[in-house]
């Protein structure tokens, strides 16, 4: 038996991230996001639409070489097959590849090609829709995180470009330090000025809870929720 | 209530150089209903003392009037109720405008407390009174409890009181300095200058320790040290905070108060080096009448005089055995107080304070009697070594110094003591020692940090400091001090918090409790709010006296965390309880779904009428949010090996596009989880698990892979929430879904137990399984989670003319029970092996190996295990509660109801239950004991399924 598939027109698909903050929303490239703009010194931004891939493979070897980093460190690819991607060494033999929103197909294909070329047993899974991703930016970010995470965030322990997985407000979270170049306030004028910034990445269904916990912890530092200060 | 305004304070002196009050402003608060005034900087006690208040509380057992003894946080006579907050240290807490301060546990008033009759009955409240009295008969215990509660010496926590915000944070200083006196400040500055990050924790409201109430030189040195601390950006200063505990590897619990909008904050600090700079605590002297209001320590007098400009009395006797006592006499004279000094260094001391409600006269050991309203004692010091004890170093008694001192040889390298706790010397010597210790503390911490950096994955490479071996810090000397603990004849109180008298200690020893640990527990001496800091050494001295041994032989009790009483709020901190929501949660909330808490998940239990939801699924089409179903992405050529290992059934022949139900058992054959796994590609599978088992199965699978089969090429990625999962169920589900998908849903193209991928409502990369937990034709849709709400809303819109309606977890449970599908953990428990659960059809003992096979082999050869069976009550209106016992004629338990519901489809009650093997045959009638005590009969059915046992409805 086969019934004719009645053509029912549905609204064009709208993607939603794990986070829904009160207030106005807008649709950007098919994603519904908060329309609030954050201008304060401590900002929590929803980066849910970013492409997120997990890669598994040998901790050392050709896959690691192609991804450009290992456990505990990050690599930003400015050129090559993964241009535009931030690769995070999320665990031993485990990577998280982040790319700009809407590049899912190309980045997935490129990453799979990198893995296939390695000749090693490795796998790639697209978890764009399965994870929550926020960026916490501001000088007070480490003080805020110290209220919800037991890891020492001193420069000496977690410098820019490093990553770890730990409990944040009791949610398993990848914490990635990815400072933002400060173009407006650069006293040395040589592009070295940076603002503290962390990516926090967790399983999707806990994302709203995690964001709420960060806002609660950040109230004393004047945290604002809104559009990211940087489009990265 | 009488409201009267009391003057600003007859006992307030003129301005003094070290005072901490702001005389330019006043604030008002209430004390037992009367309005009082204070200056900002006043403690509650100093403001009241300025107004001439002498009595602050009634004592624990005898309800004797008590005044100020130490005038600091340890003061046993000054625990007060402030608003909703009990047991506030009145001599430490700063007065605030509008505070409602009351004395605790006095009735009808502080002045006329009827429980003071306990003083008359004192001989009945002797040592071990509670142990000896409230033991038998047992049936009277509830009455005893009510009586004892009336006499509990503590404030009240109203159950409807304000919910305060208790905060928590972590800290990782290289060096944590406990104590902000001169030594602590000097050590902190030296450590910071050596490159360490420092946390400096001070219990008082200001840095400076005893320098604050000292002379002009002391104040100058204090100002210099405070300025040096403030000039170091690497020092974080926490005042009104206490290091409450030290655990292994310098895991330190710091309780911080005085923050805006936060009641208390627990700082969990991991320090490289702990510098203990706790100073010295002045020890009370034990003599008859030593608890009368007006008996004070020399430090209390100097605090009142020099910090708060309060005159503590008019005519003072100062019993002094040290320079600090002499200084108190000098300070009192300067404040216009008549002073008689008694030099206790030469054998003359006090034996009794006399008076009613306060000191009126002092009797000395030479028989003389002096009129006085203030008796000041300066008879010795106690080193508060708790943090050192918690580090594994027990203090050693030094009779020449009349105090316990730390044993540096037994102290770990990560802990260093400085200041008075470590030894004596001039201020310059103490500061120099602390500076050396601070430098060494920094060097040790940075060496440790370098060792950690070498192995940390986040390090970009290269150690940032050299590792080095610890170097000793030259020790301080000890000043001679006479041993003064108690007067003879022995009298007075040794523990004023607990109302333990000196004679109670002697009695306890006579009764055989002849060690300090036993005396402590029998008498409760040292177990009050001061936690022994005022009482332990005197108690030990009295035990030594009574047993005829020395103090060193007797030894102190063990100091354990906490150093000081800590509120439950501080220990609880912020409540972090993660909750999980599906992408459709906004829709559920908007449609008034009743929330069901399922582990961390919040799920719709129903949308108003679960029975109607069941009927709609059986007759038309319903959709349910099943996102919490566990999903694992499995990739690699060895996935079939893993599946064959974990599941009891066979997986080698599963074709691409096919789905199979599987059961997992643990090593002991007990059912662990179940679910379906589909093959999406040559080396690509999607496994589903129960909602509650998602985490367990992932860990289970990883555990087998990583420990037993690291050679297998399998990667597991949890993708539970990468997909929003929706089950579309009911005879019209195909009709609905066909309107939204490009997948051919025809039975011959997409049959039962198959999987397809395709587009739904414009969303690509969706996974569709055709399976049937509800027993109806149904499709389980796994949609990229970001589009879950879109697809859900599209289904609701596209199916409006079909009568599509959502159904919740309750309807799903009814549907599956009608169909006889078991739920792992509900119809099975921690003892239910596969054959007991009726899963014999799934167990393939001809497989070479799988987890649980030996146990299941054994079970298959024995027929004595319980059976899961379908049951129907003979009275179709009776629904036996789940977990009701099934009993045999002899009253023996032979099974239980595991699931039960009223079936809307059948119009009768239906159950699943586990029964003993010999009672599992179809047609057997069994008795179920209901919760209300009645019995009802149920009949064993031939099948688990009560409805459509042939499964015809789901294969159409």
Give chain B positions within 8 Å (CB) of A156. 449, 453, 464
Contact B790 A11 (CB under 8 A): yes
Q: Measured between CA atoms, how close is A147 to chain B, in angstroms? A: 4
Give the mean model confidence (pLDDT) for residues B259-268: 91
**One CATH from 3.30.1450.10, 3.30.1330.10, 3.90.110.10, 3.50.50.60 for B284-379:** 3.50.50.60
pLDDT score recorded for residue B2:
38
Mutation target vs A (from B715, B760, B767; most A CBs, 10 A cutoff)? B715
Residue-wise pLDDT tens digits, B660-714: 999 999 999 999 999 999 999 999 999 999 999 999 999 999 999 999 999 999 9
Same fold, B166-280+385-455 and B284-379: yes
Secondary element (H or E) of residue B893: strand B893-903
Cβ-based contacts under 8 A for chains A and B: 180
Cα–Cα distances (Å) from B78 to A189, B5, B99, B290, B690, in that order, read 60, 22, 16, 16, 58
Secondary element (H or E) of residue B867: strand B867-873
pLDDT score recorded for residue B164:
82
Contact B794 A10 (CB under 8 A): yes
Look up residue B734 and give its DSSP letter. H
For residue B186, what are its two tokens? 């000097």
Q: State the sign of the Cα–Cα–Cα–Cα dihedral B265, B266, B272, B276.
A: positive
pLDDT score recorded for residue B146:
72
Q: Are B272 and B449 in contact (CB under 8 A)?
A: yes
Cα–Cα distances (Å) from B897 to B114, B462, B561, B785, B820, in that order, read 59, 65, 48, 37, 13
Contact B741 A164 (CB under 8 A): no
Rounded to whole angstroms, the Cα distance separating B195 from A70 reads: 31
Q: What are chain A's domains?
A: 39-49+130-225 (3.30.1360.120), 51-126 (3.30.70.1400)
- Tell me: pLDDT of B249 over 60: yes
3-state SS class at B614: helix
Rounded to whole angstroms, the Cα distance separating B667 from B704 reads: 11
Contact A73 B458 (CB under 8 A): yes
Mutation target vs B (from A7, A9, A10, A147; most B CBs, 10 A cutoff)? A10
Per-domain residue ranges of chain B: 27-151, 166-280+385-455, 284-379, 485-565, 585-816, 863-940
3-state SS class at A79: coil
pLDDT score recorded for residue B456:
87
pLDDT band at A188 (very low <50, low <70, confident <90, very high): confident
pLDDT score recorded for residue B5:
37
pLDDT score recorded for residue B1:
38
The A residues from 193 to 212 touching B (CB cutoff 8 Å) are 203-206, 208-210
Task: Give the residue on A whose Cα is nearest the Cα of B454.
Answer: A157
- The CATH fold assigned to B166-280+385-455 is FAD/NAD(P)-binding domain (3.50.50)
pLDDT score recorded for residue B4:
39
- Tell me: pLDDT of B90 over 80: yes
- Tell me: pLDDT of A213 over 50: yes
**Of B358 and A102, more confident:** B358
Give chain A positions within 8 Å (CB) of B635. 123, 125
Cα–Cα distances (Å) from B293 to B36, B37, B111, B372, B426, in that order, read 20, 22, 13, 12, 34
Which one of A6, A163, A171 has the shortest CB-CB distance to B578? Answer: A171
Give chain A positions within 8 Å (CB) of B735. 3
pLDDT score recorded for residue B829:
95
Task: Give the residue on B whose Cα is nearest the Cα of A33.
Answer: B786
Cα–Cα distances (Å) from B854 to A227, B646, B848, B864, in that order, read 58, 14, 11, 17
Residue-wise pLDDT tens digits, B112-155: 666 666 665 555 566 666 666 666 677 777 777 777 666 666 77
Rounded to whole angstroms, the Cα distance separating A22 from A26 reads: 12
- Tell me: pLDDT of A60 over 90: yes
- Tell me: pLDDT of B464 over 70: no
Q: Measured between CA atoms, how close is A136 to chain B, in angstroms? A: 18
pLDDT score recorded for residue A181:
83
Rounded to whole angstroms, the Cα distance separating B154 from B135 reads: 23
Residue-wise pLDDT tens digits, B515-566: 999 999 999 999 988 889 999 999 999 999 999 999 999 988 888 899 998 9
Contact B798 A8 (CB under 8 A): yes
Length of chain A in terms of residues written: 232
Q: Measured between CA atoms, how close is A44 to chain B, in angstroms? A: 19
Which one of A130, A157, A209 has the shortest CB-CB distance to B722? Answer: A130
Rounded to whole angstroms, the Cα distance separating B730 from B621 reads: 4
Half-sphere CA count of B117, side-chain side, radius 13 A:
4
Residue-wise pLDDT tens digits, B569-614: 898 888 899 999 999 999 999 999 999 999 999 999 999 999 999 9
Q: Which of A35, A44, A33 is nearest to A168 (CA)?
A: A44
Q: State the sign of the Cα–Cα–Cα–Cα dihedral A186, A192, A193, A195.
A: positive
Rounded to whole angstroms, the Cα distance separating A123 from A94 reads: 10
Give chain B positions within 8 Å (CB) of A157. 172, 452-453, 456, 458
Contact A3 B745 (CB under 8 A): yes
Length of chain B in terms of residues written: 956
Judge residue B266's burial from the number of C-beta atoms within 10 Å of its C-beta, 0-12 exposed, 13-18 middle, 19 or more buried.
buried
Give the mean model confidence (pLDDT) for residues A158-172: 96
pLDDT score recorded for residue B131:
63
Question: What count of other Cβ atoms lies within 10 Å of the Cβ of residue B52?
Answer: 14
Contact B722 A17 (CB under 8 A): no
- Tell me: pLDDT of A231 over 70: no
Q: Which of B202, B182, B206, B419 is nearest to B308 (CA)?
A: B206
Contact B171 A130 (CB under 8 A): no
| CATH classification code of B585-816 | 3.30.1360.120
pLDDT band at A19 (very low <50, low <70, confident <90, very high): very high
Name B578's Cβ contacts closer than 8 Å, sequence gap at least 6.
A169, A170, A171, A206, A209, A210, B600
Rounded to whole angstroms, the Cα distance separating B406 from B383 reads: 8
pLDDT score recorded for residue B911:
98
Look up residue B505 and give its DSSP letter. H
Residue-wise pLDDT tens digits, A132-153: 999 999 999 999 999 999 999 9
Give chain A positions within 8 Å (CB) of B711. none
Q: Which residues pair with B12 in a beta bridge?
A: B310
Of B5-14, B43-52, B209-218, the range with the lowest mean pLDDT is: B5-14
- Which DSSP string corresponds to B413-478? TTEEE-GGGT-B--HHHHHHHHHHHHHHHHHHHHHHHHHHHHH-TT--SS-SS------PPPPPB-
Give chain A positions within 8 Å (CB) of B577. 170
Which one of A152, A162, A205 has the shortest CB-CB distance to B580? Answer: A205
Residue-wise pLDDT tens digits, B154-183: 777 778 877 788 999 999 999 999 999 999
Superfamily of segment(s) B863-940: Aminomethyltransferase beta-barrel domains (2.40.30.110)
Cα–Cα distances (Å) from B265 to A9, B87, B535, B570, in that order, read 56, 18, 29, 6
Give the mean model confidence (pLDDT) for residues B770-791: 95
3-state SS class at B649: coil
Secondary element (H or E) of residue B109: none
Which one of B456, B748, B787 has the shortest CB-CB distance to A157? Answer: B456
Give the mean model confidence (pLDDT) for residues B950-955: 89
Range B27-151: architecture per CATH: Roll (3.10)
Judge residue B4's burial from the number of C-beta atoms within 10 Å of its C-beta, 0-12 exposed, 13-18 middle, 19 or more buried.
exposed
To the nearest 10°, the Cα dihedral for B458, B461, B466, B470?
30
Range B485-565: architecture per CATH: Orthogonal Bundle (1.10)
- Tell me: pLDDT of A230 over 60: no
Of A188-192, B93-97, B517-521, the range with the lowest mean pLDDT is: A188-192
Task: For chain B, give the mean pLDDT.
Answer: 93
pLDDT score recorded for residue A9:
64
Q: Measured between CA atoms, how close is B143 to chain A, in angstroms? A: 44
pLDDT score recorded for residue B461:
64
Residue-wise pLDDT tens digits, B639-669: 999 999 999 999 988 999 999 999 999 999 9
């Amino acid at each position: 038996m086969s019934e004719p598939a009645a053509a029912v027109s549905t609204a064009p698909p709208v993607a939603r991230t794990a986070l829904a903050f009160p207030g106005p929303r807008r649709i950007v490239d098919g994603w519904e996001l908060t329309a609030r703009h954050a201008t304060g010194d401590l900002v929590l931004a929803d980066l849910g639409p970013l492409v997120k891939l997990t890669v598994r493979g040998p901790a050392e070897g050709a896959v690691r070489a192609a991804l450009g980093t290992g456990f505990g460190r990050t690599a930003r690819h400015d050129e090559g097959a993964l241009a535009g991607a931030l690769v995070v060494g999320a665990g031993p033999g485990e990577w998280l590849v982040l790319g700009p929103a809407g590049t899912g197909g190309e980045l997935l294909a490129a990453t799979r090609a990198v893995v296939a070329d390695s000749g090693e047993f490795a796998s790639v899974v697209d978890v764009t829709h399965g994870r929550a991703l926020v960026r916490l930016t501001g000088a007070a970010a480490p003080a805020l995180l110290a209220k919800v995470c037991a890891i020492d965030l001193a420069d000496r322990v977690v410098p820019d470009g490093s990553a770890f997985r730990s409990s944040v407000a009791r949610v398993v979270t990848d914490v990635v330090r990815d400072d933002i170049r400060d173009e407006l306030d650069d006293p040395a004028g040589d592009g070295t000025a940076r603002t503290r910034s962390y990516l926090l990445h967790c399983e999707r269904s806990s994302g709203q809870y995690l964001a709420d916990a960060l806002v609660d912890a950040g109230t004393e530092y004047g945290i604002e929720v809104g559009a990211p200060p940087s489009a990265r | 209530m009488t409201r009267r305004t009391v003057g600003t304070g007859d006992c307030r002196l003129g301005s003094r150089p070290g005072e901490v009050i702001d005389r330019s402003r006043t604030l008002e608060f209430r004390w037992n209903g009367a309005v009082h005034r204070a200056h900002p900087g006043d403690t509650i006690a100093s403001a009241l003392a300025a107004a001439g208040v002498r009595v602050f509380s009634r004592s624990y057992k005898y309800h004797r009037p008590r005044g100020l003894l130490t005038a600091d946080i340890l003061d046993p006579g000054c625990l007060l109720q402030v608003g909703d907050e009990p047991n506030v240290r009145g001599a430490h807490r700063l007065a605030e405008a509008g505070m409602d301060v009351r004395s605790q546990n006095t009735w009808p008033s502080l002045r006329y407390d009827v429980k003071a009759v306990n003083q008359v009955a004192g001989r009945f409240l002797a040592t071990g009174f509670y142990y000896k009295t409230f033991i038998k008969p047992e049936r009277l215990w509830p009455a005893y409890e009510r009586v004892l509660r009336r006499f509990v010496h503590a404030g009240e926590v109203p159950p409807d009181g304000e919910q305060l915000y208790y905060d928590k944070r972590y800290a990782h200083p290289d060096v944590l300095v406990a104590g902000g006196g001169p030594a602590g400040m000097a050590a902190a500055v030296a450590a910071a200058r050596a490159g360490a990050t420092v946390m400096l924790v001070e219990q008082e409201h200001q840095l400076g320790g005893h320098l604050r109430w000292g002379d002009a030189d002391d104040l100058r040195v204090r100002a210099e040290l405070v300025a040096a601390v403030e000039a170091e950006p690497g020092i974080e200063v926490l005042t009104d905070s206490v290091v409450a505990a030290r655990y292994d590897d310098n895991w330190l619990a710091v309780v911080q108060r005085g923050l805006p909008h936060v009641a208390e904050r627990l700082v969990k600090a991991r320090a490289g080096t702990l510098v203990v700079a706790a100073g010295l605590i002045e020890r009370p002297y034990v003599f008859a009448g030593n608890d009368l209001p007006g008996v004070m320590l020399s430090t209390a007098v100097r605090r009142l005089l020099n910090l708060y400009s309060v005159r503590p009395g008019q005519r003072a006797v100062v019993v002094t055995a040290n320079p600090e006592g002499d200084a108190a006499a000098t300070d009192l004279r300067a404040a216009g107080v008549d002073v008689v000094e008694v030099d206790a260094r030469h054998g003359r001391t006090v034996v009794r304070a006399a008076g009613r409600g306060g000191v009126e006269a002092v009797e000395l050991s030479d028989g003389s009697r002096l009129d006085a309203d203030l008796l000041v004692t300066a008879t010795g010091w106690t080193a508060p070594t708790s943090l050192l004890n918690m580090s594994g170093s027990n203090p050693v008694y030094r009779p020449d110094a009349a105090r316990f001192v730390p044993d540096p040889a037994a102290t770990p390298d990560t802990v260093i003591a400085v200041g008075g706790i470590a030894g004596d010397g001039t201020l310059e010597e103490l500061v120099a020692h602390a500076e050396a210790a601070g430098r060494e503390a920094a060097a040790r911490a940075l060496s440790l940090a370098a060792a950690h950096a070498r192995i940390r994955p986040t390090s970009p490479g290269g150690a940032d400091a050299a590792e080095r071996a610890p170097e000793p810090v030259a020790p301080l000397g000890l000043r001679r001090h006479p041993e003064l603990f108690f007067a003879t004849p022995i009298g007075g109180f040794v523990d004023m918090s607990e109302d333990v008298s000196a004679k109670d200690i002697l009695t306890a020893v006579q009764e055989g409790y002849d060690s300090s640990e036993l005396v402590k527990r029998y008498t409760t001496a040292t177990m009050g709010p001061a936690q022994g800091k005022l009482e332990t050494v005197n108690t030990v001295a009295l035990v030594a006296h009574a047993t005829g041994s020395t103090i060193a032989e007797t030894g102190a009790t063990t100091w354990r965390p906490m150093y000081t009483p800590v509120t439950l709020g501080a220990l609880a901190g912020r409540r972090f309880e993660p909750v999980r929501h599906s992408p459709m949660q906004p829709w559920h909330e908007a449609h008034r779904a009743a929330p069901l808490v399922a582990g961390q998940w919040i799920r719709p239990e129903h949308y108003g009428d679960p029975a109607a939801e069941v009927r709609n699924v059986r007759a038309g089409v319903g959709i349910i949010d099943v996102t919490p179903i566990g999903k694992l992405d499995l990739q690699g050529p060895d996935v079939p090996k893993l599946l064959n290992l974990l599941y009891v059934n066979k997986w080698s022949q599963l074709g691409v596009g096919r789905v199979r139900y599987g059961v997992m058992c643990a090593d002991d054959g007990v059912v662990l989880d179940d679910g379906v796994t589909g093959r999406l590609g040559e080396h690509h599978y999607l496994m589903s698990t129960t909602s509650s088992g998602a985490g367990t199965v992932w860990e289970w699978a990883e555990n087998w892979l990583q420990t037993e089969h690291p050679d297998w090429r399998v990667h597991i990625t949890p993708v539970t929430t990468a997909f929003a999962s929706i089950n579309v169920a009911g005879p019209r589900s195909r009709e609905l879904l066909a309107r939204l998908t490009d997948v051919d849903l025809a039975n011959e193209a997409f049959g039962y137990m198959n999987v397809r991928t395709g587009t739904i409502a414009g969303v690509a990369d969706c996974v569709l399984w055709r399976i049937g937990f509800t027993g109806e034709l149904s499709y389980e849709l796994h949609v990229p989670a970001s589009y879950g709400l879109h697809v859900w809303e599209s289904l609701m819109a596209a199916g409006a003319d079909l009568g599509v309606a959502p159904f919740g977890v309750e309807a799903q449970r009814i549907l599956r029970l009608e169909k006889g599908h078991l739920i792992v953990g509900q119809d099975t428990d921690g003892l239910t092996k596969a054959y007991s659960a009726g899963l014999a059809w799934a167990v393939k003992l001809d497989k070479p190996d799988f987890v649980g096979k030996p146990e299941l082999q054994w079970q298959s050869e024995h027929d004595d295990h319980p059976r899961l069976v379908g049951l129907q009550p003979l009275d179709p209106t009776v629904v036996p509660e789940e977990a009701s016992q099934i009993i045999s004629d002899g009253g023996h338990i032979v099974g239980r109801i595991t699931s039960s519901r009223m079936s809307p489809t059948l119009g009768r009650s239906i159950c699943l239950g586990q029964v003993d093997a010999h009672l599992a045959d179809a047609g057997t009638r069994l008795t179920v004991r209901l919760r209300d005590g009645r019995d009802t009969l149920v009949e064993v059915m031939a099948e688990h399924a009560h409805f459509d046992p042939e499964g015809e409805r789901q294969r159409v």
